[in-house]
Amino acid sequence: MLKNTAERFGSIAKLFHWSMAVAFILAYIVVYYVIWFIDPETSIKPALFGIEPNGALVIPLLNIHWVLGVSIGVLVVPRLVWRLINVEPAPVPGSALEHLLARLAHWALYLFMIVMPLTGYLNTYDPTNFGLFIIPAFRETALFAWIANTWQLTAEQVETPIFAVHKFLGDWVVWVVVALHVAAATFHHRVRKDATLTRMLPAAWGGQAGQKRD
């Protein structure tokens, strides 16, 4: 079943959800691995777990973070289109406030899936290498040249405030919203025992169609 129904999400929606969730988690793991262990300027001292800082690995590892981020930013467009043209499964039983908060949380996640990759790319100082092709750093594009020439700005003046936004959201906001999202799904699954979680799970992971599970 590719499309959504009134009871559950279809295969396409599930593929978007879980592939982007995995990419998001991996992007976080990679960047904090670099910050805490690999980058000589920011690594925890003394070195933990025998992992010594290595400046030569910073850019190759950050490239993985950039690839994952750009992929999320690209995939969010068809994901939003697919959501808008598909029927939305009926909400599980709950109060009007719960439904409102759930919708706000979902749209906040969509917003972050746009803002985080965008702010990440705009302050990426090296090209993003996908292997088969390379995306130039924003500072190397014609658009940046036009912005810099029009407003007489340097790369640092453009990138510094954008990086501040990216870092603040990544450090203090996004993971909190994601944690609340996971906590809410767990609450519905373990306490309410409804289909909030299972209707988004692939069949191989125990996904089911009903509004109420046993």
Specify the fold of 11-205.
Fumarate Reductase Cytochrome B subunit (1.20.950)
pTM listed for this prediction:
0.91
* pLDDT at position 212 over 60: no
Can you give the pLDDT at residue 211? 44
- Nearest in space to 197 (alpha carbons), one of 78, 112, 102, 75: 102
Percent of the chain with pLDDT over 70: 95
Binned at pLDDT 50, 70 and 90, residue 206 comes out as low
What is the distance between the alpha carbons of residues 60 and 66, in angstroms, rounded to a whole number?
10
Pairing state of beta strands 128-129 and 134-135?
Answer: antiparallel
Mean pLDDT over 201-207 rounds to 71
* pLDDT at position 205 over 50: yes
Q: Parse the chain into domains and list their residue ranges.
A: 11-205
What is the distance between the alpha carbons of residues 146 and 122, in angstroms, rounded to a whole number?
14
Q: pLDDT tens for residues 36-87?
A: 999 999 999 888 888 999 999 999 999 999 999 999 999 999 999 999 999 9
